Amino acid sequence: MKEFLNLLHAGDPKTIARAISLVENHSKGYQEILESLDSSRRIPVVGFTGPPGAGKSSLVNNLVTLWASTGRKVAVIAVDPASPFNFGSLLGDRLRMAGLFTHPNVFIRSLSTRGSLGGLSASIIEITDIFKNSGFDNIVIETVGVGQSEVEIAGIADTTVVVTVPEGGDEVQVLKSGVMEIADIFVVNKSDRDGAEKFAQFLRDMVHSKSGHWKIPVISTVATENTGIELLSLAIAEHAASMHTDERKYLLLAEKIEMLVARHKMKEFDLHKIALDLKDKMNKPGFNLYLYSKQFY
């Protein structure tokens, strides 16, 4: 295991891939991997969120290509919707990043949400920490884009980029989705379409009234033409330099600790035996799930 961990921290791609698989599946040795990581490392994490079809994958593809061309090592975590049948990821969006898979400075890992709420994988914090300890200069997380429940990306990413499109983001929908609470940068993609400038101005007016030391920029892009990518990269760098820390990060980490403690405690119990016991008891009159669960506290 010592040699494995040395290869992991040296950034060996095959070892990184293996470590992620072990951690995702809670396989033998995963705890030792996690306990070798330095969670305090300050590697910039940029999260991309927004509605399906907004062009997040194309934007990420162009931004990562720009960064990699300057010699930076970039890790991309692409969180995909899970199949409702086997919880595997549906990897259609990854086709738009096909050119990056063979780039020597880029490591892409697609993850399934596996039923996790919030549009993120249940192991996203662990996998982000693996990348932080494997020699990468930037980490990018692209989320499923499921709307209001996706605010947890703001707790993981140092910079949250909310991608919108003119025809899909009328004023009422933007206000309803709560993106003002999570956006560090707004992107109006497909800005060559009708109504794009009007929508961008609406966003500028909206962010202008928000107090705080960081003034949220609104960047217009056309990802298919590689337009506005350098401006977006500059805005991300400026936000990183602002040393802004979202308080939600600490709450999210506290919730992660709660989950880790619960997972560890549940190791004492055989879930298959519990399931058989439930099969016998839960259809009897007066059965109460919450009273039943108290025996495991």
Q: Averaged in consecutive runs of 10 residues, what is the pLDDT profile of the chain (297 residues)?
A: 93 95 90 89 90 87 95 91 44 60 89 54 83 96 64 79 76 57 89 90 82 86 95 95 72 77 78 88 85 85
Short-list 134, 27, 121, 37, CA closest to 81: 121
Short-list 43, 46, 45, CA closest to 185: 46
CATH code for position 85:
3.40.50.300
CA distance from start to end of the chain: 34
Unique residue bearing structure tokens 């990897």? 91
131 and 221 together in one domain: yes
Instruction: Describe the crossing of helices 13-24 and 2-9 by its angle, rounded to 10 degrees.
Output: 110
| CA–CA gap between residue 88 and residue 283 (Å, rounded) | 32
| CA–CA gap between residue 4 and residue 10 (Å, rounded) | 10
197 and 58 together in one domain: yes
Residue that finishes a domain, picked among 246, 261, 280 = 246
Unique residue bearing structure tokens 């190791």? 267
Beta-strand relationship, 106-112 and 74-80: parallel
| CA–CA gap between residue 181 and residue 53 (Å, rounded) | 22
The 3-state DSSP class for residue 79 equals strand
2 and 104 together in one domain: no
Which tokens go with 25?
Answer: 């599946």
At residue 178's C-alpha, the angle toward residues 175 and 183, to 5°, is 105
- What is the pTM assigned to this prediction? 0.83
60 and 30 together in one domain: no
133 and 181 together in one domain: yes
Which tokens go with 48?
Answer: 């991309």
Helix (H) or strand (E) holding 140: strand 138-142
13 and 127 together in one domain: no
117 and 240 together in one domain: yes
| CA–CA gap between residue 65 and residue 88 (Å, rounded) | 27
pLDDT for position 176:
53
pLDDT for position 68:
95
pLDDT for position 155:
75
132 and 274 together in one domain: no
How is the beta sheet containing 74-80 ordered, strand by strand? 106-112, 74-80, 138-142, 45-49, 159-164, 185-188, 218-220
pLDDT for position 178:
62
- CA dihedral sign of residues 59, 61, 67, 69: negative
Instruction: Tell me which residue range forms the domain holding 109.
Output: 40-246
| CA–CA gap between residue 235 and residue 66 (Å, rounded) | 14
The domain tally of the chain equals 3
73 and 142 together in one domain: yes
pLDDT for position 119:
46
96 and 206 together in one domain: yes
127 and 237 together in one domain: yes
144 and 284 together in one domain: no
